[in-house]
Structures are given as structure tokens and as C-alpha cells.
Amino acid sequence: MRTLVTLACGLMTLCPHALADQVWLSNGDRLSGTIVKSDGKTLVLHTSYADDIGLDWSAVKGIQSDQKLHLVLQDGRTLAGEVSTSDGRLEVATSSGTVESSVSAVKAVRGEKEESSYEKTLHPGLLEGWKSGLNAGFALTRGNSETRNLSIAFVATRQTLRDKLGVYSDAIYAANDAAGAVPATTANTAGGGFRYDHDIRGKLFGYAAADFFSDALQTLNLRSVFGGGAGYHAIKNDRTTLDLLAGLNYTHESYDAFTRNLAALTLGEELIHKLGQSTVLNQRLAFYPDLNSAGDFRGTFDFDTVTKISKRLGWQNSFSDIYVTNPPPGKRQNDVVLTTGLNVSFGE
């Protein structure tokens, strides 16, 4: 009886190690835990004694896993199965048989939970993965002056490994409430739209976009722009993204006095850059030469920054300029807008 108890206690002591993944390092150390993931530079091992620890992948000599691991090799192949080490090489027990690979040929490793999360990033639901922000500014004066100013803007982005969808909307209203003030309304614009990007190959991507804009003081009831074309990621890293765009668009403009339809080129660039740890800069420039009327064009320039105050709260500054060569008679060609206010972010 005592022998059985002793044997049972010994098995209970050994079980945690038997069921754990093992990692052998080139210096002879062996660590036990649960392999979480590796990006080819660092192996993350979850342990009961030190939570998650990071190991230099170049120092890993071998692996023994009791869970299914998903391996991505340098040549693009993917393997899934329990992993063991024999004679300095990894052996993966896949459903179709054992496959060998060297440690240096492994580009990435993911455990079951990490693989599930990774699959979600490849095929997220339409309502998943959004990052959004709401900008709002308001000013009110009474006494010697009586004015109201309101600006609201909303942006949202959903990005996967190969696709990006962005939507936006904004509105500005300003009024002079003083008796007899002319004009009583000093600004009344609203706009919105979306752009969808899909990576084609390397840095090349295709895009489709639609934009809508109205300006009461320019007697513009609605400008609808539908376009598409190709883009190129001139710069794309963790801090900076610079996209160059070229394509065609169809524009329908409805003014109080007339309507017009035109086809135009789309030439532009878009820059996103992180300034330090808390500020993000966005800059966009677009040029739309009219294919129906030589010399006529429309141009837009947008520049804004958002500086984080806390996780959800930030301060935004925004500048926008819209130029049209052929506005209605008596109306100016330029519309310039400068706003500042709070930014509230949502999503991931």
C-alpha cells in the first residue's frame, strides 16, 4: 500500500513536467512551460513560475511540445503538429506524416490560442477590428459678440493583412447671432466618404473610393465623387506610411444654379507618421484635373495631428483647403478650414 502511495505521489510530481513544452538552449539550459509564439527573433514561453518570458530564438537548440504548434518556414511552407527534436533537427508530427526542419529555417511559431487569434486577423468579421476617433469642438460667445461655432469629425479604419477600409465624415457650422448680422450663417459644410484598399503584390495595391461634400455658402448642394485606381506603398513601416495614388474618377456636382458631370484624373499622396510616443500626423494631398475641360481642376489638402492625453482622450488640430478653378459666379475658389478640439478614440 505504501508503495502504491509513493508511486502515485511520484507520478503527480512528474505530470506537470510531462505535460509541459520543453525548450533546450544552446548553453545547455532546459526550460519548461507552454510555448506561446515566436516571430523568428524571440520565443515567448509561458511558465508557472515567471509568467511569460522571452528567449532569443537564435539561442534555441531544440523544442519538445505536447501541444500542436503551427510553424511557418522561411520557404513559405506551414506545418502543424507536435514538435520534437532529434539530432539537432525539429520533427513535426503532421497529419500526413513527420516532417523535418532545422531551427534556423523556422520563421514563426504559434500555439493553438495564438493561431486562433492569427486566423481572426486574416478573416475578421465586418464589425471586427475597427479603430475609430471622434473629434469635437464648440465655441459660444455672448455680450459684445454673439456667435456659435461647432465642428464634428468622425474617422474609422479597419485593417487586415491585405485589406484596409477607411470611412470618415465631418461637419462645420458657424453663425453670427447678432441682430442684423449679414450673413447670419458664416459656415455650413458637411462631407463624408470611404476608401477601400487591397494589396495586389509587394507594395502595389488597388483602391476604390467615394466622397461626398456640400457647402451651403458656395451654393453647392452635393458633390459626389466615385473613383478608383492603383496605389504604391512608397514607405511602410511601424512609424511611417506614405502612399502614392493614381486613377480616374467620375464627379457629379449639383449647385443651386446648375449641375455638371465630369471625368477627371486622380493624383495624390497620403502620409501617416508617428511623432514620438503620443502624436500622430496625417497629411493628404489630391489633385483632380478635369478631362472634359483643359485647365480646370480641383485640389484638396488636409493636415491634422492628434496628441494623446490618455488612452482614449486626445487633442486634435486640423487644417483643410479645397480649391476649385471654376466655382459658381461670385463665389471664391478657396475654402479653408482650421479646427481644434478634443479627440475621443474607440476600438482596439
User: How much of the chain exceeds pLDDT 90, in percent?
Assistant: 57
In terms of Cα–Cα distance, which of 71, 67, 65, 61 is closest to 38? Answer: 71
Distance CA 272, CA 277 (A): 14
Q: What is the DSSP letter of 291?
A: S
Residue 2 DSSP class: H
Signed CA dihedral, 116, 119, 124, 125: sign only: negative
Q: Which of 51, 52, 47 is nearest to 22 (CA)?
A: 47
| CA angle, residues 24, 29, 30, in degrees to nearest 5 | 50
Whether the model pTM is above 0.75: no
Cα–Cα distance, 280 to 166 (Å, whole number): 16
pLDDT of residue 116: 84
Average pLDDT over residues 113-122: 81
What residue spans define the domains of the chain? 2-122, 130-347
How far is residue 101's CA from residue 92's CA, in Å, rounded to a whole number?
A: 8
On the question of pLDDT at 7 being above 80, the answer is no
Pairing of strands 204-215, 147-159: unpaired
| Mean pLDDT of the chain, nearest integer | 88
Query: Contacts from 67-71 at CB under 8 Å and sequence distance 24+?
Result: 67/21, 67/34, 67/35, 67/111, 67/112, 68/112, 69/35, 69/109, 69/110, 69/111, 70/109, 70/110, 70/111, 70/112, 70/114, 70/115, 71/101, 71/106, 71/108, 71/109
Residue 12 pLDDT > 80, yes or no?
A: no
Cα separation, 222 vs 214, in Å, equals 5
Q: Are 38 and 106 in contact (CB under 8 A)?
A: yes
- Separation of CA 13 from chain center: 47
Cα(198)–Cα(184) distance, rounded to whole angstroms?
45
What is the per-residue pLDDT for 348?
Answer: 57
Among 36-40, 195-199, 246-250, 337-341, name the one with the lowest average pLDDT: 337-341
Q: For the residues 114-143, what does the mean pLDDT come to?
A: 82
Residues 19 and 55 sit within 8 Å (Cβ to Cβ): no
Per residue in 25-82, pLDDT tens?
A: 989 899 999 999 998 889 999 998 878 999 998 899 889 998 999 999 988 899 999 9
Mean pLDDT, residues 174-193 taken together: 89
Which is more confident, 106 or 1? Answer: 106
292-320 tens-digit pLDDT: 888 899 999 999 999 999 988 999 999 99
% the chain with pLDDT above 70: 94
**Eight-class DSSP state of 294:** T
Which of 267, 232, 225 shows the shortest CA–CA distance to 249? 225
Instruction: Work out the pLDDT band at 14, boundaries 50, 70, 90.
Output: very low
* DSSP structural state of residue 29: -
CATH 2.40.160.40 fits 130-347, yes or no: yes
Is residue 9 scored above 80 in pLDDT?
Answer: no
Q: Do 48 and 56 meet the contact criterion of CB atoms below 8 Å apart? A: no
Cβ neighbours for 72, distance < 8 A, ≥ 6 positions apart: 78, 106, 107, 108, 109, 110
For residue 245, give the nearest of 213, 276, 216, 287 by alpha carbon.
287
- Asked if pLDDT for residue 13 goes beyond 70, the answer is no
How far apart, in whole angstroms, are the C-alpha atoms of residue 240 and residue 183?
43
The amino acid occupying position 146 is E
Tell me the mean pLDDT in the region 190-206: 94
> What was the pLDDT predicted at 103?
86
133-167 tens-digit pLDDT: 998 888 889 888 899 999 999 999 998 878 899 99
Quick check: 222 and 260 in contact, CB under 8 A? no
Contact partners, residue 85, CB within 8 Å, separation at least 6 = 24, 61, 62, 63, 64, 91
Q: Which residue has the higher pLDDT, 49 or 283?
A: 283
Q: Give Dmax over CA atoms of the chain in angstroms.
A: 105
